[in-house]
Amino acid sequence: MTRPSSLWWQEAIIYQVYPRSYLDTNGDGVGDLNGITDRLDYIAQLGVDIVWISPFFKSPMKDFGYDIADYCDVDPMFGTLDDFDRLIAKAHSVGVKIMIDQVMSHCSERHPWFVESRSSRDNPKADWFVWADPKPDGNPPNNWLSVFGGSAWQWDARRKQYYMHNFLTSQPDLNFHNPEVQQAMLDSLRFWLRRGVDGVRLDAVTFHFHDKALRDNPVATVRDTSTVTDANPYGMQAHVYDKCRPENVPFLRRVREVLDEFNAVSIGEVGADDALAFMAEYTAGGDKLHMAYSFNLLTEDSSARHIRTQVEDFKRRVKDGWASWSVGNHDVPRVATRWGKGKDPRAFGKVALAMQLSLKGTPTLYQGDELAFTEADVPYELIQDPYGITFWPEFKGRDGCRTPIAWTDGPNGGFTTGTPWLPVAPEHIAAAASVQETDVDSPLNFARRMIAWRRTMPQLTRGDIEFLDAPEPVLAFRRTLAGERSVLCLFNLGGSDVTFTLPQARGAAKLPQPGLPGDVVDGVVTLPACGGWLGYEA
């Protein structure tokens, strides 16, 4: 059974690069495009297919590139357009595709569009952003909240109106009800696709449209803690009017038409009270997003029950769509700490990776997870993330997962010859990539073997998934594919040894997978702490 080439992305592995923290080649303490180019051989050797690069566009960097001031240029901090072209050429030469981050819902207050829009109520771009008059008492027009704290409305003295911002006040929301705004975004997308980009990750994809009537959000009947900390009042509202609006569906069809012109792929970040519903809506029918991911596996809950529930719910509710399962990214604490509390980070990093690579869907890995890096402890005086500064100390922000990659055990982990923008964690330097290269049992070498082995197992890349009942903390499922023997996948996500009795009347033989500890005797599988077992069923 051969998968059509047009669906190659369903068998692919995505690797996220946060460019500020990957490798600095000019000594200014901030990673750059040339640093990514210099490490493309490392990435290719890892065995991934797509590199998703977080924003590198011109920006005042108040939200570290997610506040864009020019959608069609590179910020000098990261390099030049020529540097980007060289990156694309090198990536393609080593067999890796490049996916860029498109932040369409909002831009920087310094973008020329917003500078013009706020200058008056009757300029050509006056309606390019979401403006509203105050209530008679001067208050904002409704109760909408910002993800980053406080009201979603900021007073502007020039227009004597409020403008909407779902994130920082310096990130005004674009008005997608204006057809010119939609076209401008599609034009910027084409700019990068013409330069050879192979795909896009759509940031905040549920936030493009708002309710024109500006109706108040109702109180949440179930508080959402999957996308925000419980210290944040954002989760107290049901976000039915400020995002996830029905007008987003036809716009995503327009995005897909542009992508199809270039045979490019897309993945959407779905942050919503009911993320699975919108993952289903946005990926169904093959005419919108190719795939989507949510924060449903980026939570604190690492139980086997939680993981099983998310995957089974997706399978039940999303009939013809496709998921990308991510357990770590630049917005949440590193998985080796978030899910691996009290466990050996090397062992837990391996089992978490093996589990992620065995689920049905396209895995998205975050830089440093292949090295089993833990969350870094950044002291308050060095915190850069405005989100963390606002909610400190109950929520320390996102800096702990964004610290620079340690490539060597030398000064600053070989990341920079200058002063790094965030400190390189000493524990990361001790586990640097160069140190792990020479250790056959390191998380890095395990990741390479596991990724290579996955390619030989069509059941894991194309097969269906069926979960088996198992006691916590064991996650058990089988992957089946017509014409192939079914594969049983068992993962112990806990810190103590456990056993699992194989299903009755089903023999099993352990597969020569790349080194997870676990064995079977007389139908009983023994799984050491953070162990795993994959075997053929009879």
Active site residues: 203, 261
Instruction: Give me 8's structure tokens.
Output: 């190659």
What gap in Å lies between CA 404 and CA 414, rounded to an integer? Answer: 10
What gap in Å lies between CA 158 and CA 185, rounded to an integer? Answer: 26
Q: Where are any strands of DSSP class E within 389-473?
A: 464-467
Residue pair 401/428 in contact (Cβ under 8 Å)? The answer is no
Residue pair 129/173 in contact (Cβ under 8 Å)? The answer is yes
Q: What residues have CB less than 8 Å from 330, skipping those under 6 apart? A: 16, 18, 54, 366, 398, 401, 402
| Beta strand 131-132 pairing with 50-53 | unpaired
| Beta strand 50-53 pairing with 97-102 | parallel
Report which residue type is found at 267. Answer: I
Instruction: Give me 487's structure tokens.
Output: 């594969």
Closest CA to 119 of 157, 74, 153, 151: 157
Farthest CA pair distance, the chain? 79
Residue 197: burial class (beta carbons within 10 Å; 0-12, 13-18, 19+): buried
Residue pair 338/332 in contact (Cβ under 8 Å)? The answer is yes
Residue 305 CB neighbour total at 10 angstroms: 12
Half-sphere exposure of 413 (CA within 13 A, CB side): 29
Adjacent-strand bridge partners of 366:
16
3-state secondary structure 57-95: EECCCCCCCCCCCEEEEECCCCCCHHHHHHHHHHHHHCC
Instruction: Kindly state the helix (H) or strand (E) to which residue 102 belongs, with its residue range.
Output: strand 97-102
| Beta strand 464-467 pairing with 161-164 | unpaired
Residue pair 468/503 in contact (Cβ under 8 Å)? The answer is yes
Please give the distance of CA 184 from its chain centroid, rounded to a whole number.
25
- How many angstroms separate the Cα of 341 from the Cα of each of 299, 335, 336, 347, 495? 13, 9, 7, 12, 9
| CB burial string 244-272: b at 16+ within 10 A, e below | bbeebbebbeebbebbeebebbbbbbbbb
Residue 205 CB neighbour total at 10 angstroms: 29
